[in-house]
């Protein structure tokens, strides 16, 4: 007889495409859990156990819809760089931290946990960057300073209990013909292998199988109750003017100012529908959604902080913004202004210089594009410069690079210490994860981190939407305010807000 786990996908697929997780596979998972418990006894420390199998017809958005109900914590990731997607549900192990050294603390704990995991099963071939069990999550822009506990920790990364990966055939697609299901657990010598394997299989079923009422997704138009700008438009423009005065006095070269708009609707926001709209409207962006309890942090970022594939490290200087035109002629005019603006070129160069200097010592070879290109999104266009290097043999891993680069001048300012100190004393906004980083690392240190911009923090019928822009010595407060309004547009459209 087939095991209880053999129902995976069978009810959801046509007869010809059905498959079963047979008794031998179930016993293989149990064997991995048993071997991990034995290893924990021998090593006298917790051990990471990970088991994998191929799964057909994976649709990342559908899987993520289910994962949001299967566990209180989940993640969705769709990379614009290699079309890879990742869906997770549940938590095998938490690696959270607070304070200035939050990324370094997570990295040290992950390196210890990821050493010599106990693995089994049949991993899939043809997956995008990364392999094996992953560490996923995000970090804040800066450590929280207020007395109140923030919605998300300064750094929240975890090993997911259920991890599903694949590669979509197109930038706008969510489905892949083949993916990988991976079940992870962190065990100690007292763990029960039978209960662990049963729990993992149950959660996998919840993610992979259609659930009752799943097709009933009719959404009502959003009815807005109220909204508030933090700070107000007048106060934010005054803040820009104050920053300009400080730069003209030589305090620093650039600072990035953010603002928040809070919305309260009559009914809860439809987060999966918002991600679907973002994916359709911004195929060149990397989509992410992190759910922790009642809070969901979502976004569509055009900017990656760092990406590490083998020995190739990549980062992106994205700074300098102008609107899209209503006609091809107007659009081309805006592009000429963008590429010809002394102010914008200076702002962009500050970012590229920092990236080049940060990567130089870690790389045997470093390539910086000879000049910026223009990245055209649906609502704005940016100056963009890629920086790529080849690591020395014993180079840093993805988390070390994230710690090294975050925050770049595109999110904080330059010089880093002076601009961040000014922000801490003047901005008056608890950014949380906005302008922080979201991404993942595998056990070998490969991974991706996106810059968490074009983002929103959602809790039920409440949404905080964020935007920011780089300020230099000749910035105009009204122009900068209008730029933030343009940057808010993607998330407002996705959430159904006018």
Average pLDDT over residues 468-489: 92
Predicted pLDDT at 64: 92
Dist CA 402 CA 7 (whole Å):
41
Give the CA count within 13 Å in the CB-facing half-sphere of 449: 33
Residue 313, pLDDT score: 93
pLDDT of residue 443: 95
Query: In whole angstroms, what is the distance from residue 48 CA to residue 109 CA?
Result: 12
140 pLDDT tier (thresholds 50, 70, 90): very high
pLDDT at 192: 97
Mean pLDDT of the chain: 88
Instruction: Give the pLDDT confidence of 312-362 residue by residue, as tens digits.
Output: 999 998 888 888 898 999 999 989 999 999 888 988 888 898 888 889 888
E strands, 62-216, are: 73-78, 84-89, 93-97, 118-121, 134-139, 155-159, 162-167, 175-187
Q: What digits encode the pLDDT tens for the residues 221-253?
A: 888 889 999 999 999 999 999 999 999 999 999
pLDDT at position 224, please? 86
Phi, psi torsion values for 69, nearest 5 degrees: -95, -20
pLDDT at 363 over 80: yes
For residue 158, give every residue at least 6 positions away whose Cβ sits within 8 Å of its Cβ, in sequence order, or none.
73, 91, 92, 93, 94, 95, 96, 135, 136, 137
Q: Is the pLDDT of residue 86 over 60?
A: yes
Residue % of the chain over a pLDDT of 70 = 92
Mean pLDDT of 300-311: 92
Q: Where is pLDDT greater, at 465 or 62?
A: 465
Contact 26, 5 (CB under 8 A): yes
The predicted pLDDT at position 178 comes to: 77
The number of beta carbons lying within 10 Å of the beta carbon of residue 162 is 28
Q: Which residues are known catalytic residues? A: 254, 303
State residue 149's pLDDT score: 78
Residue-level pLDDT at 22: 55
Q: What is the CA radius of gyration of the chain?
A: 23
């Amino acid at each position: 007889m087939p095991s209880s786990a053999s129902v995976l996908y069978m009810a959801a697929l046509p007869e010809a495409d059905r498959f079963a997780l047979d008794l031998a596979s179930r016993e293989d998972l149990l064997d991995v859990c048993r071997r991990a418990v034995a290893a924990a006894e021998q090593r006298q420390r917790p051990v990471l156990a990970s088991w994998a199998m191929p799964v057909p017809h994976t649709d990342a958005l559908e899987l993520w819809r289910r994962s949001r109900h299967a566990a209180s914590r989940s993640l969705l990731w769709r990379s614009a760089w290699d079309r890879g997607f990742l869906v997770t549900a549940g938590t095998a192990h938490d690696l959270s931290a607070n304070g200035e050294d939050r990324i370094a603390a997570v990295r040290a704990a992950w390196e210890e946990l990821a050493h010599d995991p106990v693995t089994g099963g049949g991993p899939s071939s043809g997956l995008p960057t990364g392999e094996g069990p992953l560490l996923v999550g995000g970090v804040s822009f800066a450590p929280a300073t207020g007395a109140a506990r923030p919605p998300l920790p300064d750094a929240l990364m975890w090993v997911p209990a259920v991890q599903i990966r694949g590669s979509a055939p197109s930038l706008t697609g969510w489905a892949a013909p083949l993916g990988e299901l991976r079940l992870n657990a962190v065990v100690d010598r007292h763990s029960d292998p039978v209960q662990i394997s049963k729990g993992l299989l149950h959660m996998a079923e919840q993610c992979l199988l259609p659930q009752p009422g799943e097709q009933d997704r009719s959404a009502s138009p959003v009815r807005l109750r109220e909204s508030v700008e933090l700070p107000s438009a007048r106060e934010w423009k005054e803040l820009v003017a104050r920053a300009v005065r400080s730069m003209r006095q030589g305090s620093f070269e650039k600072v990035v100012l953010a603002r928040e708009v809070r919305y309260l609707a009559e009914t809860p926001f439809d987060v999966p529908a918002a991600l679907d709209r973002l994916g359709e409207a911004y195929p060149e962006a990397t989509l992410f959604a992190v759910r922790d309890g009642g809070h969901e942090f979502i976004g569509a970022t055009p900017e990656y902080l760092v990406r590490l594939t083998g020995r190739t490290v990549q980062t992106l200087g994205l700074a300098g913004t102008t609107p899209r035109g209503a006609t091809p002629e107007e659009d081309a005019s805006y592009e000429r202004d963008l590429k010809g603006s002394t102010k914008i070129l200076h702002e962009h160069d500050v970012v590229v210089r920092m990236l080049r200097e940060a990567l130089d010592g870690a790389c045997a070879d470093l390539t910086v594009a000879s000049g910026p290109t223009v990245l055209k999104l649906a609502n704005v266009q940016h100056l963009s410069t890629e920086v790529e290097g080849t690591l020395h043999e014993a180079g840093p891993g993805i988390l070390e690079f994230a710690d090294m680069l975050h925050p770049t001048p595109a999110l904080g300012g330059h010089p880093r210490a002076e601009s961040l100190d000014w922000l801490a004393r003047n901005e008056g906004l608890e950014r949380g994860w906005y302008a922080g980083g979201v991404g993942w690392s595998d056990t070998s240190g490969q991974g991706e981190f996106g810059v968490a911009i074009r983002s929103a923090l959602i809790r039920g019928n409440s949404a905080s939407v964020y935007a920011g822009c780089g300020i230099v010595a000749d910035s105009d407060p009204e122009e900068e305010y209008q730029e933030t309004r343009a940057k808010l547009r993607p998330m407002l459209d996705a959430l159904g807000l006018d």
